[in-house]
C-alpha cells in the first residue's frame, strides 16, 4: 500500500526498452469504483495533447518507479475509453470533506492510500474538524460513498490513530478471482473431512448402546455386535473413500484455478519465438520454451539486458 504522494512523480520505465518513458503527473480517480483508473503522464515526447497510462497496463508500482511492458502502454487520452470524462471530472480525494452517515462533519481528507496491485483506494487519513493538528484514519470498508462534495463514511467509531489499527492489509485488497475460488474449494475439503470423520463415531456410539441394552440374551447380543461391526467397517471405508474423492476433485479444481500473479504474470505461459542467448553466447532457453517463473528468475540473475531480450522474444 502506498500513499498518493509516494506514487505521484515516480518515473515510468519500459521493461522492453529499459528506458524512462515518462513520469506520473497525476492519479486519476474513478469515484464509482473508488480506485485509480489512470495515471496522467508527463513527458517531453508527449508535450502536445494529454497522454495517460491505464492502470490495467501497469506491471508494478515500486519505491523507485512505475513499470510497464513498453512505450505503447502510454496512450492518447482520446484513445482510452472513458478516460476523457474522468480527466475532465478531475475528482480529488485530498481536500474533500468527510461526512458521517448520521450527518456529522468529521474533517477533511489529508491523504489517501492505494493498493499497488489493484489501484483500489484502501484507506484515507483526515484532519479532524476543528483540530487540524489531529490526523485520524479510516479504512476502505468504512467508506460508503466517494461523493462529488463529500466522502461519506458508515461508522464514526471505526476511526483510528494509525493505518495499522482497525483492519489487516488483506481486508482492504480486492482478491484475485482464482484465489477466491481456491479458498472456497479448500473450505469444501475441510467441511467434507470433518463431516465424514464424525460418522464412524456416531455409528460406534449406536453399537455401544445396543451392546448395553442386549445383555439379557447372549445370542442376540453377539448378532447385534457382528452387524454393528460390519456397518462400522463399511461406513468407515465409504466415508474415507468419499473424503479422498472429494479432496482429489477439490484439489484438482484448486490447481486448475490458479492463475499467474505478480509483476511478471504477463510473461508466464508465453512461448519463446527464438533461442534466448546471453551476451557470451550461452543458450538460456531454446525456441518454443514456455516461460515459467523459474526461467524468469534465471534471466533476471543474468542481468537486465537479457530480461529485455526475453520480453522481445515472447
> Could you tell me the CA-to-CA distances from 210 to 219, 222, 231 in Å, in that order?
13, 10, 13
Q: Can you give the pLDDT at residue 183?
A: 45
Q: Can you give the pLDDT at residue 267?
A: 79
Which residue, among 18, 28, 134, 10, has the nearest Cα to 86 in the 3D structure?
28
What is the rounded CA–CA span in Å between residue 185 and residue 191?
A: 10
Task: Give a three-class secondary structure readout of the chain.
Answer: CEEHHHHCCCEEEECCCCEEEEEEEEEEEECCCCEEEEEEEECHHHCCCCEEEEHHHEEEECCCCEEECCHHHCEEHHHCCCHHHHHHHCCCCCCCEEEECCCCEEEEEEEEEECCCCCEEEEEEEEECCEEEEEEEEEHHHEEEECCCEEEECCCCCCECCCCCCCCHHHHCCCCHHHHHHHHHHHHHHHHHHHHHHHHHHHHHHHHHHHHHCCCCHHHHHHHHHHHHHHHHHHHHHHHHHHHHHHHHHHHHHHHHCCCCCCCCCCCCCECCCCEECCCCCEEECCCCECCHHHHHHHHHHCHHHHHHHHHCC
Q: Can you give the pLDDT at residue 303?
A: 75
For the chain, the distance separating the N- and C-terminal CA atoms, rounded to the nearest angstrom, is 31
What is the rounded CA–CA span in Å between residue 283 and residue 281?
A: 6
2-89 and 97-172 agree in CATH topology: no
Cβ-in-10-Å burial (0-12, 13-18, 19+) of 60 comes to middle
Residue whose C-alpha cell reads 474533500 in the numeric block = 96
Q: Can you give the pLDDT at residue 46?
A: 55
Q: Note the CATH number of domain 97-172.
A: 2.30.30.240
What pTM was estimated for this model as a whole? 0.55
Any idea where the domains of the chain sit in the sequence?
Answer: 2-89, 97-172, 177-257, 259-314
Q: Can you give the pLDDT at residue 311?
A: 74
User: What's the grid cell of residue 63?
Assistant: 519505491
The sign of the CA dihedral 30, 34, 35, 36 is positive
What is the rounded CA–CA span in Å between residue 82 and residue 35?
A: 14
Range 301-309, long-range pairs (CB < 8 A, 24+ positions): 302/278, 304/18, 305/18, 305/279, 306/276, 306/278, 306/279, 307/15, 308/15, 308/16, 308/17, 308/18, 309/276
> Could you tell me the CA-to-CA distances from 178 to 169, 175, 188, 192, 256 in Å, in that order?
19, 8, 15, 21, 9
CATH number assigned to the domain with residue range 2-89, chosen from the 4 options 3.90.50.10, 1.10.30.50, 2.60.40.740, 3.40.50.300: 3.90.50.10
Low-confidence stretches of the chain (pLDDT beneath 50): 169-185, 189-195, 197-207, 209-221, 223-224, 226-227, 230-231, 233, 235, 237-238, 242-243, 245-257
Q: What is the pLDDT of residues 270-279, one digit of tens each?
A: 898 888 888 7
Which residue, among 245, 253, 260, has the nearest Cα to 185 in the 3D structure?
253
Amino acid at each position: 500500500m502506498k500513499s498518493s504522494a509516494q506514487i505521484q512523480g515516480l518515473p515510468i520505465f519500459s521493461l522492453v526498452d529499459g528506458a524512462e518513458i515518462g513520469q506520473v503527473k497525476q492519479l486519476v480517480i474513478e469515484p464509482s469504483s473508488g480506485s485509480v483508473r489512470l495515471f496522467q503522464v508527463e513527458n517531453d515526447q508527449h508535450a502536445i495533447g494529454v497522454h495517460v497510462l491505464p492502470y490495467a497496463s501497469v506491471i508494478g508500482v515500486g519505491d523507485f518507479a512505475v513499470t510497464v511492458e513498453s512505450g505503447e502502454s502510454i496512450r492518447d487520452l482520446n484513445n482510452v475509453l472513458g478516460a476523457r470524462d474522468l480527466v475532465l471530472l478531475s475528482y480529488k480525494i485530498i481536500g474533500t470533506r468527510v461526512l458521517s452517515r448520521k450527518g456529522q462533519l468529521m474533517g477533511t481528507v489529508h491523504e489517501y492510500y492505494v493498493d499497488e496491485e489493484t489501484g483500489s483506494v484502501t484507506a484515507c487519513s483526515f484532519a479532524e474538524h476543528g483540530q487540524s493538528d489531529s490526523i485520524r484514519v479510516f479504512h476502505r470498508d468504512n467508506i460508503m460513498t466517494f461523493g462529488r462534495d463529500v466522502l461519506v463514511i458508515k461508522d464514526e467509531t471505526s476511526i483510528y490513530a494509525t493505518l495499522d489499527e482497525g483492519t489487516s492489509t488483506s481486508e482492504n485488497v480486492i482478491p484475485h478471482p482464482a484465489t477466491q475460488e481456491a479458498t472456497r474449494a479448500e473450505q469444501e475439503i475441510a467441511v467434507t473431512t470433518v463431516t465424514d470423520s464424525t460418522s464412524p463415531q456416531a455409528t460406534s456410539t449406536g453399537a455401544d448402546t445396543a451392546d448395553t441394552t442386549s445383555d439379557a440374551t447372549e445370542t442376540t447380543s453377539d448378532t447385534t455386535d457382528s452387524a454393528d461391526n460390519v456397518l462400522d467397517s463399511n461406513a468407515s471405508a465409504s466415508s474415507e473413500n468419499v473424503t479422498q474423492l472429494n479432496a482429489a476433485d477439490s484439489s484438482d479444481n484448486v490447481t486448475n484455478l490458479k492463475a499467474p500473479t505478480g509483476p511478471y504474470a504477463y510473461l508466464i505461459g508465453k512461448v519463446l519465438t527464438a533461442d534466448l542467448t546471453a551476451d557470451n553466447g550461452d543458450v538460456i532457453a531454446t525456441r518454443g520454451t514456455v516461460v515459467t517463473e523459474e526461467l524468469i528468475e534465471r534471466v533476471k540473475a543474468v542481468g537486465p539486458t537479457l530480461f529485455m531480450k526475453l520480453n522481445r522474444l515472447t
